Structure 1
């Protein structure tokens, strides 16, 4: 059984969502020469971070558990399909493919091989002479 403890500090240990940088400094920036009042910039930062935090907490509270259940079931279905359907089907296909490969190989060596060998012998007698 997997360890039931979750890391409440590092919640993305494999960095799978590192591309989702959504801090104020990552989204908004004023270049030199274009500045708002310091109080506007300060309160904008607080509103951005507060709004983002509240909205994220609300959405995760409303949907997080259900989405985790959905994705858990989705990956269980994918695992089931791979383990019980795709892998055995692929193994069955590969067994039959060996049989087909042997049949095609036998056909080619018995029927097509002598024809190609005969054509090769016939055409090997052709001589090209350069005149002029």
Structure 2
């Protein structure tokens, strides 16, 4: 993989960080500064932004990119060597617990539920005098 010097944000992850002069400063119709002030402001903004950004990236960019590279390497290591095997162990144990729970429910709860079902199936309701008899 090579470094793309033209399109440095191909996945558009920093689309919210608009720092062009037109994205930050704008004069609406009906109120304008002098043309020379607007042009000088444009030059000062871009010069200040570019110089400050380049100085900060020269001073800090390499250290910060090294830090983030190590951070993401640590996260990948942790996911591959720690989290994924732990989740696999957890899934194996949960499968065993599911079998225990199923056996306990079938042995203890199923007879009680069947008895309650038989008991309630014998209930009948009469509707008024000489009315119809309903069985549930």
Judge same fold: TM > 0.5, yes or no: yes
Aligned length: 129
Which residues in structure 2 correspond to 1:67-78 (within 5 Å)?
67-78=64-75
What is the SS of the residue equivalent to 1:128? Answer: strand
How far apart are 1:45 and its partner, in Å? 0.6
Q: What is the rounded CA distance, in whole Å, between the counterparts of 2:12 and 2:116 in structure 1? A: 63
Structural mapping, 1:1-132, within 5 Å: 3=1, 5-131=2-128
How high is the TM-score relative to the length of structure 2?
Answer: 0.91
Unaligned runs of 5+ in 1: none
Give the corresponding residue for 2:133.
none
Richer in strand (by share): 2
Measure how far apart 1:10 and its partner are.
Answer: 1.3
The alignment yields a C-alpha RMSD, in angstroms, of 1.0
Higher RCO (CA < 8 A, seq sep 6+) = 1
Q: Which has the larger radius of gyration?
A: 2
Instruction: Show structure 1 runs of 4+ deviating over 2 A.
Output: none
